[in-house]
Amino acid sequence: MGWLTKFFRGSTHNISEGQYHSKPTEETVWNGPSNSAVVTSEFDNEDIARAISLSLLEEEQRKAKAIEKDMHLEEDEQLARAIQESLNVESPPRIRENGNANGGNMYQPMPFMFSSGFRTCAGCHSEIGHGRFLSCMGAVWHPECFRCHACSQPIYDYEFSMSGNHPYHKTCYKERFHPKCDVCKQFIPTNMNGLIEYRAHPFWLQKYCPSHEVDGTPRCCSCERMEPRESRYVLLEDGRKLCLECLDSAVMDTSECQPLYLEIQEFYEGLNMKVEQQVPLLLVERQALNEAMEGEKAGHHHLPETRGLCLSEEQTVSTILRRPRMAGNKVMEMITEPYRLTRRCEVTAILILYGLPRLLTGSILAHEMMHAWLRLKGYRTLSPDVEEGICQVLAHMWIESEIMAGSGSNGASTSSSSSSSASTSSKKGGRSQFERKLGDFFKHQIESDTSMAYGDGFRAGNRAVLQYGLKRTLEHIRLTGTFPF
């Protein structure tokens, strides 16, 4: 406000100068030559009296003029204060040094008051009248009427945020609109360019800070969601982590998986693709699956982790005999036993990784069952994209059938007389909303796989099946080793 200060100083100087200039005649008289006294002595008494009267009259006139000038000066001062007031109130409210707003008395009252009806408050729609006001968002406000849209408290800060046509405290705006990390529950920080950068799972849309990808935050081995700080995933003995929702329907031992195996076999029968041979199904740990994969001479495996395997070689496999015990957030006391595989046909066993939800276990089993069917039916050695692609098509078809069934109950489980089958059927009949969502996720995983064998192979095989049907597609693969176009 330097220019304004100078303006007031110049005005004061002019006023003072005008006051001194109000006595020119008197100064002229006393600064005249010395013989002026002689001239005065020649007047007679009457003339002297007349001169005194004129002098007194002039003095009264000068006083009247001085009073009138003082009144004009006071009006000028009031006008100057009005100008300063209007300039000051255009600025945002101020904060005390301790950081606390000064409430409704943020503005100190000025000697000049605006006349009533000069401005109308955009908040309460009443006349602002005398006193301070704010000018922002193209309107004027009482200081106590300019309020945050979130907390409804007055905004006394220098800066505020906007969303649409609503003002917010910067803290309230951040709380309402700034994205929070679904893992650490903190505001996602900005990057070096001042932009909010975060990662999001393509299916679950779980938002998280980029740092969690490298800070060791675990993911669920089934649904791939990151572990939130306020919850604890279950730690399996082979080092994998499982979220509680996926744990709810997890298949944990070989006997528990047998009813599901029967369902998959009946699913294949419904497609006129019955597997005649009795192929053992074993649930195994990660280490046992990796060891079996190393002992297999042929086969294509989905890196970075294989979750199912169709074996053709004789070997001994360690299988899970009984469901492990839970101790807090850890799986304890895993009981396994060795199982000797003997070659009676082209397939010696199907191995599935334990601890996965029923729908994922079933889709892996449907995939590996197709490997077994191709080998048992004498299909020649196929390229990875054709063999893995058609196996993924069958896994995708099974998941779709489960999703469409809703309850998941079909003839397979109801015809079984075993207690474990009844348990599985009950679990399927009471499928949770999350489990239905999980089925959509596993279906999405197959459809969006980016690998050449599993992803591109599935999409080529699925197009062929949709166009020509499964039977004709399989016949074309048997004759040419390729998908029909």
According to the model, what pLDDT value does residue 451 have? 93
Reply yes or no on whether the pLDDT at 357 is more than 70: yes
Answer for the pair 344, 277: CB distance below 8 angstroms, yes or no. Answer: yes
Reply yes or no on whether the pLDDT at 410 is more than 70: no
Looking at every residue in the chain, the average pLDDT score rounds to: 76
Residues 6+ apart with CB under 8 A from 58: 25
Length of the chain (residues): 485
H or E stretch covering 311: strand 308-311
Side chain identity, residue 130:
H
Residue 470 tokens, joined: 């499964």
**221 burial level (CB within 10 Å; 0-12, 13-18, 19+):** buried
Residue 350: what are its φ and ψ, rounded to 5°?
-115, 125
Residue 346 tokens, joined: 């082209």
Answer for the pair 22, 62: CB distance below 8 angstroms, yes or no. Answer: yes
Q: What is the pLDDT of residues 312-336, one digit of tens each?
A: 888 899 999 888 888 788 887 788 8
Reply yes or no on whether the pLDDT at 360 is more than 80: yes
CA distance 339 to 355: 19
* CA trace torsion 394, 398, 404, 407 (10° rounding): 180
DSSP codes, 84-132: HHHHHHTSPP---TTS---GGG-SPPPS--PPTTS-B-TTT-SB--SS-
Residues 6+ apart with CB under 8 A from 119: 127, 128, 133, 140
According to the model, what pLDDT value does residue 364 have? 96
Strand, helix or coil at 50? helix
Q: What is the pLDDT of residues 234-271, one digit of tens each?
A: 999 889 999 999 999 999 999 999 999 999 999 999 99
According to the model, what pLDDT value does residue 95 have? 32
Other CB atoms within 10 Å distance of the CB of residue 389: 25
Dihedral of CA 41/43/44/50: which sign? negative
| 335-340 and 316-322 strand pairing | antiparallel
Reply yes or no on whether the pLDDT at 77 is more than 60: no
* Pairwise pLDDT comparison (422 vs 360), residue with the higher score: 360
CA distance 187 to 180: 4
Q: What is the pLDDT of residues 11-37, one digit of tens each?
A: 222 222 222 222 333 332 333 333 333
Q: What is the pLDDT of residues 297-315, one digit of tens each?
A: 655 555 457 899 999 888 8
Reply yes or no on whether the pLDDT at 339 is more than 50: yes
Residue 264 tokens, joined: 């998959």
Strand, helix or coil at 28? helix
Reply yes or no on whether the pLDDT at 116 is more than 50: no
Residue 308 tokens, joined: 């199912």
